[in-house]
Structure 1
Amino acid sequence: MHTETRLAQLHAADLHAQAERHRLAAAVKPPVELRTRLGWTLVEVGLRLASTPRPTPALV
């Protein structure tokens, strides 16, 4: 068997294994309640950061 052919087979097998791992990881999702709480917590933190008053520079 040629070296290039064997390397192509190994590469294809590696890609198939990566695709299977990705498919399995995508199938496992956190509970909706946890995702919802995390989402609203991030919104709250973002609003706090956006609404923080900044000191205005003094006019000289």
Structure 2
Amino acid sequence: MHSDTHLLLHRLRIAEPPPSAAGFALPAAVPRAGLRTRLGWALVELGLRVLPRPPVRPLTTSGAA
């Protein structure tokens, strides 16, 4: 098969999602950039909560008075 024909068929195949993926499609009313941003910040917040906090060191006073 010629490479241009192969590329064209590949692009046509990816342009149409399989019928099983139709249930996962976002409604047209949902802005994609806003959803991506909210999801991204939610993952950042979750990651910050999961990370262990550094131990708190007690303040030491020097013996000089």
TM-score band, normalised by shorter chain: 0.3 to 0.5
TM-score, with length taken from structure 2: 0.39
- The TM-score normalised by the length of structure 1 is 0.42
**Greater gyration radius:** 2
- The answer to which structure has the higher helix fraction is 1
